[in-house]
Amino acid sequence: MFKLLFILFLTIPLIEIVILIEIGKVFGAAYTIILVIGTAALGAALLRHQGLSTLAKVQMNMDQGNLPATELVEGLILLIAGALLLTPGFFTDVFGFLVLIPSLRHLLARTLLKNFIQTRINIQQTSSGNIIEGEHWESDSNSS
């Protein structure tokens, strides 16, 4: 896990720098800065709308007595999307904008939730040792 995070924190900024330099060569520094600020502003506006919509779904499910697990995971995904969209650059913006698509975000949330539940079940089964199924009943010792 540490290796993966190290590689991500090293390569993503380098990719962003290369993309910013290349776009700066084509459009100029001023337009590149305006594009970066514009994508951050657009992303923040879309994120606010999507976040409020997701919060409404969470409240609706809780009012109905349902566990809003998928919606909570979607909220976490939106939080990460917000960080990606507010990070200066275009590479991270692509991923941030992709998860603002409701159907894609819902699919990602369901997949993450399913994998998390499956992992938890596997860990519980292996950590508890042998599972012995059976029936148990108590008998009254005075009646014998």
Top-confidence residue, 119 or 90: 90
Top-confidence residue, 128 or 53: 53
Q: Is the pLDDT of residue 99 over 60?
A: yes
Q: How far is CA 6 from the centre of its chain?
A: 19
pLDDT of residue 103: 92
Q: What is the DSSP string of 28-42?
A: -HHHHHHHHHHHHHH
Residue 50 to residue 56: CA distance in whole angstroms = 10
pLDDT of residue 67: 84
- pTM of the complete model beyond 0.75: no
Q: Is the pLDDT of residue 137 over 90?
A: no
Residue 143 to residue 1: CA distance in whole angstroms = 61
Top-confidence residue, 1 or 44: 44
Q: Is the pLDDT of residue 130 over 70?
A: no
DSSP-based three-state secondary structure for 126 = helix
How long a stretch of residues is the chain? 144
Indicate left, alpha or beta for 88 from its phi (over 0: left) and psi (-120 to 50: alpha): beta
pLDDT of residue 136: 57
